[in-house]
Amino acid sequence: MKVMAFNGSARKDGNTAILIRTVFSELEKEGIETELFQLAGKKIRGCIACYKCMKNKDRRCSVKKDVLNECIEKMETADGIILGSPTYFADVSAEMKALIDRAGFVARANDDMFRRKVGAAVVAMRRGGAIHAFDTINHLFFISQMIIPASTYWNMGIGRDIGAVEQDEEGLLTMRVLGQNMAWLLKKLH
Ligand SMILES: Cc1cc2nc3c(=O)[nH]c(=O)nc-3n(C[C@H](O)[C@H](O)[C@H](O)COP(=O)(O)O)c2cc1C
């Protein structure tokens, strides 16, 4: 089994990546393969509303000039998907929103191709707005018929500078329990 994670932060290996890797360590203890794809520095733009995915139904976005189709390919082959984002103005980053809108539309155009995959949202923030970013990601999972494991708190970690989330003990615990519950759920499903 494999869990594929996407980090929507503009900062590679920042707090969001630390939180995702905390979830990974629990998944890996249970023998689940993990891979992290970081959007930082990569070309990715928003949906252009061409609606070609609805017509083509070829499981890919018709805009082929950026990393989006590579992301969709990786999502398609995974059993579980983690979408991680920092909080930017009380929502996800622009990179993560581009991934949600385009991968989400392609999935809907192709008989809900993420249906019954396990999905988890992970959010980093400095002070406020993470719950809104968390909801944004979960909206994709819900409308895609995905299955969502829970944790002891909403999946967020607090910190501003890179590494600061490591001081947020409750945030890290939330990630560890999320990893354990995600592994448990994946094993029940497969
Ligand atoms: C453009 C921008 C907007 C931000 N907006 C918020 C915000 O609304 N709320 C908040 O708590 N932190 C906000 N932050 C802080 C980041 O969410 C925080 O530093 C987070 O840990 C970054 O994660 P990263 O290291 O993975 O990039 C913002 C940071 C940037 C660069």
**Rounded distance from Cα 87 to ligand 1 centre (Å):** 5
Mean pLDDT over 133-161 rounds to 98
Percentages helix, strand, coil for the chain, rounded to the nearest 5? 45, 15, 40
Strand ranges of the sheet holding 2-7, from the earlier edge strand across to the other edge: 33-38, 2-7, 80-86, 118-125, 156-158
Q: Measuring from atom 16 of ligand 1, which residue has the nearest CA? A: 125
Q: How confident is the model at residue 69 (pLDDT cuts 50, 70, 90)?
A: very high
Q: How far is the CA of 125 from the centre of ligand 1 (A)?
A: 5
Ligand 1 pocket mutation pick from 22, 36, 87 by most atoms within 8 angstroms of CB: 87
Per-residue pLDDT at 7:
98
Query: How high is the pLDDT of residue 174?
Result: 98
Q: What is the pTM of this model?
A: 0.98
Paired sense of beta strands 80-86 and 33-38, if any:
unpaired
How many other C-beta atoms can be found within 10 angstroms of the C-beta atom of residue 7? Answer: 31
Question: Best mutation site among 82, 85, 88, 161 for ligand 1, i.e. most ligand atoms within 8 A of its Cβ?
Answer: 88
Q: What is the mean pLDDT of residues 24-42?
A: 98
Ligand 1 pocket, residue 160 CB under 6 Å: yes
